[in-house]
Amino acid sequence: MARTITHNKRAVRATNIVLCLLFMLFSFVYLYAFQGEMMRMVQHLLSHGRTQYQVFLFAVLITLGLTLLGLVLLRVVPFPGRFKALAWIPSFAVLGWLTDVSLSVAEPSPHSISAWPFVLLAFIYFSVSYVLLRIQEPIDVNATFHEMAWPNFFVFMLGMAFTGWVGNTNRTLHYELRMERLCIDEEYGKLLMIGAEDDNSSRRIMALRFFALSKLDALGDQLFHFSNNLGSDYILPAPIDSLRPANMPQRLRSYLGGFPVQDMNATRFLQHLASDTLAKEPVRDYLLCALLLDKNVDTFVDSLVSYYAPKPAPEELAEDQRKSNKKKNKKNEPILLSSLPRHYAEALALYGHLTQQPKALLDNTAINSEFDKYVGQMELPDSLANDQILEDTFGDTYWWYYYHDNDK
């Protein structure tokens, strides 16, 4: 009998150690790797930016605090050996409560807690605990570690599931938070990889991606490599985003030379800014890409010509004036543009196809030939197979966006 009791105590001790280590591992990984940026944002909003949240440090401190809570319950409440994991349920509940947040900066508090999951958990927890405490002796007689492990692991999994259920797991929001952190760290290449193959998008994601592409001087070459573009209304963040750590409105005000004080049409604002003496060079690509997203090809070409048309050297001006009479008969002759970013060239090839009297034409044999292939493929009988071929071959081109992205 004494040997059985000793064996049982060892099994209980081993179960407690394993559960403690599992909780510490889960809590740290959950707070550091998954919810770290969320917690950082909550801290920023609650402190109005006056304090900083150290992700690693606070993940360790919160994990230690919740582990201490579980150990105290193990010490105070004599849960049966098969259900020692019940001592960790309150820690899981607190972990879920900490991450059950809404990050709408228009709200005075980032916390948006639904009380009923916690009330339901409390009712079930106390009911089950009461019953088990009454019948613990028959349950634990001669139980080995393996016999104790499976019920405990089941309860432990329920605790993890509850934390994941009540915590904020919105994928789009987590994309935004990670992208904002990479923007602050100026790691624009890594920023572009976040959600690149995902259809989830938002105004904040679009604005951050636009900014990163511009910083890498790749707007005109890579914008339409992303399939989840939302249109020009989403390329500038909302003014209220100034409350967030990245403060994108202020970044763009410095980067572009201005930012709207209230929500307005982005293309109209950029056109106005482009004519201002305070405008900086990145405004050019912002405006051209906004016009492409609007599918306003005619206005795009007007702006493109003003930016990319060859400028005559001073010594050529007199010669140009001398030949002005000869040019009158050729005043409608289109300007040839060759050295353009990829998407600008694609748009210009499309413009030449759509317009009877174009102001400019693309002087690029490779892209013109590729566009002819696209038109030929598009004119084949409509079918799912043909659409798939078009998307696989031309899905990262402006032509695909122009003809097939009907939601913009």
Q: Do residues 321 and 250 make contact, with C-beta atoms less than 8 angstroms apart?
A: no
Identify the pLDDT of residue 384.
Answer: 63
The CA distance from 339 to 357, in Å, is 22
Per-residue pLDDT of the chain (408 residues; tens, 9 = 90+): 444 445 467 777 888 999 999 999 999 999 999 999 888 888 887 777 777 788 999 999 999 999 999 999 999 988 887 888 999 999 999 999 888 876 554 444 455 556 777 777 877 877 877 777 776 555 455 566 677 788 899 999 999 999 999 888 888 889 999 999 999 999 999 999 998 888 778 899 999 999 999 999 999 999 999 877 778 889 999 888 888 888 999 999 999 999 988 878 899 999 999 988 888 999 999 999 999 999 999 999 999 999 987 766 555 544 555 555 445 445 568 888 888 999 999 999 999 999 888 899 999 999 999 999 998 888 877 666 677 888 888 989 999 999 887 654
**pLDDT score for 38:** 86
Task: Return the pLDDT at 21.
Answer: 96
Using DSSP's 3-state secondary structure scheme, residue 405 falls into: coil
At residue 391, what is the residue type?
E
pLDDT value, residue 143: 61
Closest CA to 37 of 245, 213, 249, 197: 245
Note the pLDDT of residue 103.
59
Q: What string of DSSP letters covers 103-161?
A: --TTSS-SB---HHHHHHHHHHHHHHHHHHHHSHHHHHTT--HHHHHHHHHHHHHHHHH
Partners of 335 in beta bridges = 360
Give me the pLDDT at residue 227, please. Answer: 76
Domain map of the chain by residue range? 2-168, 170-294, 332-408
pLDDT at residue 137, as a whole number? 53
Give the pLDDT confidence score for residue 317 in this predicted structure: 45
Name the residue among 210, 201, 83, 195 with its Cα closest to residue 147. Answer: 83
Token pair recorded at residue 25:
């591992």
Residue type at 236?
A: L
Name the DSSP class of 31: I
Residue 111's pLDDT is: 52
Taking the complete model, does pTM exceed 0.85, yes or no? no
Tokens describing residue 122? 């409390």
CA distance 385 to 389: 6
